[in-house]
Structure 1
């Protein structure tokens, strides 16, 4: 197997596991099955004895069974009849509602203050959720070229936001990329 101009010889799973464990000791938490860092990130530094801001992001939570439609909380429907609980469950939600919930969770995970939708990290998280949804869409609809152009536009927008975030604040960039599980070259 070639990686760039170097030839890599893999002799067995034990060598790979040892390499992954050594990488995990340097990187921190690592999923040994996929060799990807776990989706939490925390970065901090100090320059000249002065503490800088600590960025601690966790990847947005997936949609759980306990989540309800229309913004209801499970504690609000405890006393409701079974029919109402079934109606409000996400089993009856449209794909558009599921997309909105995923975007709301991404915003909640990365917002600097309540109601923040304009910061770079929030915009990157929103675009990442939309890109994930579009890639799922293309598994079923391979010839949807109009949406493919929209997907390419979203990818380019996210790339430019990541570039500007990296230029402005490298620690925050690393935390966002690690939390979202992105590769940025």
Structure 2
């Protein structure tokens, strides 16, 4: 009896549900289908852009990031910017300062913290002699010549070697090398009467080109760094914006700075696809 009652109740429920004005809602699949189609569209667009880049390279067009044509790296190495900046490979290949006590310490080829040639001469040639003379006078050996005081000279050489190892650019990170390169760029691309004019378009374009090449070297080793690739696009368009402004301001300066930066006009004009 109970079974028959349950059977009648189930049939009545089905009848009510079938006669209802609001049918049973099924799973809505439009959103997943839209997401899948959008993903396929993005992949198709990415493949088209990659094919366009390969076509440009095959046609010999200038690289949007590097600014040179394929196989024309001499344009970069012979440019003023390519000569003035230093790389980690050049720093590693430079001779190390001698650690022998019998030799006079020499300044490293690449010095950290923005030390120039005048500061190097002062720190490694003038200052040790003055310190040695002051040490001899302080200890009451005023009648003794500096050249004959070997213990004090050895002590001063040791201090200079420690100072040399501290100032060597090998101890710096990427930020320290970038700081030294920015200092060199500002000195090279500023006007003769204004040696520290960082707001000059030529200086700004040169600093951006250095940053673009550093980011490009990073991306060649870390291809999945999406955020850095986005920053690379911003830097490339910032450089193009500055170069377009310089072209409107003075076309002769624009043409000159293109050669000094090792760039082709195609890499800063028109639509730039990075």
Length-normalised TM-score, structure 1:
0.66
* Partners of 1:141 and 1:38 in 2: CA distance: 24
Which of structures 1 and 2 has the bigger CA Rg? 2
How many residues of Structure 1 are paired with residues of Structure 2 in the alignment?
A: 140
Aligned to 1:88: 167
For structure 2, which runs of at least 5 residues remain unmatched after alignment? 1-55, 57-71, 95-108, 129-158, 267-274
Aligned to 1:48: none
1:123: how far off?
0.8
1:70: how far off?
1.4
Distance 1:83 1:137, change over 3 A: same
* Partners of 1:76 and 1:143 in 2: CA distance: 47
What is the RMSD of the two structures over their aligned residues, measured on CA atoms? Answer: 2.7
Pick from 110, 114, 117 the counterpart of residue 71 of structure 1. 114
Aligned to 1:61: 84
Per-residue displacement from partner, 1:111-148 (whole Å, max 9, x unpaired)? 12132111211110110111111111112211111111
* Partners of 1:35 and 1:148 in 2: CA distance: 26
Length-normalised TM-score, structure 2:
0.46
Please say if 1:150 is aligned against 2:231: yes
Aligned to 1:164: 245
Structure 1 ranges of 4+ moved more than 3 A: 33-40
* Partners of 1:35 and 1:99 in 2: CA distance: 23
Kept in 2: contact 1:106–1:129 (CA 8 A): no
More strand by share: 1
Distance 1:171 1:103, change over 3 A: same
Distance 1:141 1:133, change over 3 A: same
More helix by share: 2
Pick from 185, 193, 204 the counterpart of residue 106 of structure 1. 185
1:39: how far off?
4.0
* Partners of 1:34 and 1:118 in 2: CA distance: 29
